[in-house]
Structure formats: C-alpha cells, structure tokens
Amino acid sequence: MTPRRQTPRVPVTSPAAATVFTTVLTEGPVSRVDVARRTGLSSAAVTKAARPLIEAGYLTELDSATTGVGRPASPLEVVADREFFVGVKITHDELIGVVTDLRARIRVSGHLPLTSRKVDAVVSNVGELVTELLKAPRYRERTSTVGVTVAGDVDPASGHVRYSPFLHWRDVPLAELVAEVTGLEATVGNDVKAITVAEQWFGAGVGAPSFALVTLGTGIGCGLVINGDVVTGSHGVAGEIGHIPVSGDGPLCHCGATGCVEAIASTDAIVAQARTATGEPGLTMAEVITGARLGDVALRRVFARAGVAIGRGLAAMANLTGPERIIVSGEGLDAYDLFADEIRETFATHAFGAAAECELILRPLPFEEWARGAAAIAVRTLFLS
C-alpha cells in the first residue's frame, strides 16, 4: 500500500515545548501563568513554546476569563480534533481497534477475529481493521499514526516483538510490517505499558508522580511510572510483576521458571488448578467463579492462593519502587471479591513501612481500553523526535 499523505506533525522541537504541550494536554484548559507555576518554566518560555503550537492548530486560546485576583487570562486548550490516532490491540484470537482524538477519547471502535496467529495473517488483518476504522474521510485525512500493542517482550525503540507468549512470536519487526500494510507511521509497544501511558495522561494516574498499574487476567502485567516517567528499563521489560517468584514449590510458568505470580494467579492458572482440585477437566473460568461464590471449599482455596501470590507481588513491587497508588485493573477483576482479602492482607504483611500505605484503586478495563492504550502511545510520538 502506498503511504498516505502524512499530516503535519506538531512542532514539539524542545523539552520546553513538550512540557507545555503535555501540561495543557493532560490538565487543560490552563493559563500560561498556571503552566509556568506547574512546570517551573518562566512565563516567557511558556509563551515562546506555545506560539508555534497555536500557529499549527494544536493549541488554542479560549475567550479571556478573569482570575480570582482580577487579572485577565486566556487559558490554553488542546484542539482535540486537530489530529486522530488509531490504536490496535492484538490478542490471541482477535484485534480490538479504536480511533481517538488527541485526548485519547474514543471516536470509533471495532473488533476483527484473527484468521490465524501467523505473522503475515495478523498483519493483513491489522490492515483490514485500520482501513475500516478510517473509512470516514475526516479520520482518514487527519490520521498519520497507528499504535499497536501485544502482550510480551517488546522493544518500543525498534518496534520489534521479541517474544509474545500468547501469539508464539519471536523477533517480529511488527512496526515495519504494520507501516507497510497501513501506510501510516507505526509504533509498537507492550500492552500493559501502553495502558499505563493512557492512565498517566488521561486516567487515574493524572497528578500522581509515581504509580503502578497492575492488570489481572490471562497474564499478570504491571506498568510503572516513577517521578513522572514510564519505566521501561534497559531491555524494555521493567515491571514484570507476573514473573516475580512468590512460591518455591509453585507450578511451572510459561517463562520457564517456577512459582511466578502469573503461574499461580492468571486466569489460565486458576482454571488449571481448579480442574485439578475438583477433578473436573472441563471447568471454565465462569464456572470456577460461580462455584467459589457458592462456597466450594476447593475452589475457594485456589482463589485464596492466587490472592496471596498477587499480594506478595504487589508488596515486592511497592517495596522496590514506592508508588503513591496502585491501580488494579483487567478482566480478572470479575473475580476480585474472591481474593480481595488475601491480596490486601498479604500486601499489608509484606509491604515495608510506609509502602503499605499506598492507595489501591480498582478500575474496570473494557476491551476497548486496551486499544485506547495503543492509541495513547501513538499520541506520545508527537513528543518524540
């Protein structure tokens, strides 16, 4: 496919411009005086950084208002429709896609079943979904970037998927392949870290210099923000709470180790343990949850063990990084009531000192939010030169 005409990129040419734009994007409308106060930049630096952003149509000045001390102010606001972004989350059996505006507000969404997990087939399906999402001219003409996320080990700098356990991929140049099939600039990231970016800028992480996002479900994932920065680590795998060993005699994990949080508390792990405990090989997760809520002792033990594993993992992460809050999300929240006590009690026992005081926030995660996270990392490309 021939690349589409690229829309002009936002003129973020300096750290000051990135700081001003990010502040208005996440906290706007906000006056220049407040931007200066919140960022430590001088008023002159804020004005200089904002001018090209206004001229390019990414920021606008709202009608003059009056501050509490009687001085006129013209708050800066992001023009959300100036540019649109596509986000695609690849699961083991389907694609979830969205189109968002600059504030990562979902405008269009769609799902497409995968025809195969082979790389060429998945990339072709991504192209089909992106074409469908951008069929409206206003979206097609103002979109130049697509963000794609997968579970696993991803190198965001190169756009390579080094290892994705659920897709059984190794060393896949996904960004290059998606750019070729869509004609858009492509950025690729780990799915949980992408949602962390969305929460930092547009969700429960706004205003928190340090926080953690933990997702419970098919995998146990964690994204970290420390002193305002999303932590990826030298190899892009920082925050892998799912592979913290918490049980010396625990089950084998797909990573090759034993006793990992994910090997005990992921959806698949819970189902496997429940089948063994009951002798019923056909149990589904829904049936396991129902049975546990009805009081089945064996199933309650499975969830209790999972809660202890999650609590230990959260405590280890809190002891190491000291987050202000921990956001717990993911499809695993459907069963949260079955192991909430064990999670909180274990966390309180193993968290050291003031680390135990960090706030736990439960946040539902509809499937479209995964794709919104992918769009958020596409928005972030505005700040990368």
Give the type of residue at 196.
Answer: T
Domain annotation covers residue 258: yes
Dist. CA 20–CA 204, nearest whole Å: 21
Q: What is the Cα–Cα distance from 150 to 91, expressed in whole angstroms?
A: 7
Work out whether strand 160-164 and strand 94-100 pair parallel, antiparallel, or are unpaired.
unpaired
98 falls within a domain: yes
Q: 363 forms bridges with which residues in the sheet?
A: none
Give the C-alpha separation, 216 to 332, whole Å: 5
Q: Does 23 map to a domain?
A: yes
Both 176 and 220 in one domain: the answer is no
Residue 5 DSSP symbol? P
CA–CA gap between residue 371 and residue 380 (Å, rounded) = 14
On whether the pTM is more than 0.75, the answer is: yes
Contact 124, 181 (CB under 8 A): yes
Gyration radius of the chain over CA positions: 22
Which CATH number do you get for residue 149?
3.30.420.40
Residue by residue, pLDDT tens for the chain (385 residues) are 333 444 456 667 788 998 999 899 988 899 999 999 999 999 999 999 999 999 999 999 988 654 444 455 689 999 999 999 999 999 999 999 999 999 999 999 999 999 999 999 999 999 999 999 999 999 999 999 999 999 988 998 899 999 998 899 999 999 999 999 999 999 999 999 999 999 999 988 888 889 999 999 988 989 999 988 888 777 667 778 999 999 888 898 888 889 999 999 999 999 999 999 999 999 999 999 999 999 999 999 999 999 999 999 999 999 999 999 999 998 888 899 999 999 999 999 999 988 888 888 888 888 899 999 999 999 988 876 5
SS3 of residue 92 by DSSP? coil
Asked if residue 374 belongs to a domain, the reply is yes
> Measured between alpha carbons, how far is 18 from 35 in angstroms, rounded to an integer?
12
Pair (211, 352) in one structural domain: yes
- Domain hosting residue 21, numbered range: 15-80
Q: Is residue 1 part of a domain?
A: no
| Structural domain includes residue 312 | yes
Any domain includes 268:
yes
Instruction: Pick the last residue of a domain from 80, 113, 133.
Output: 80
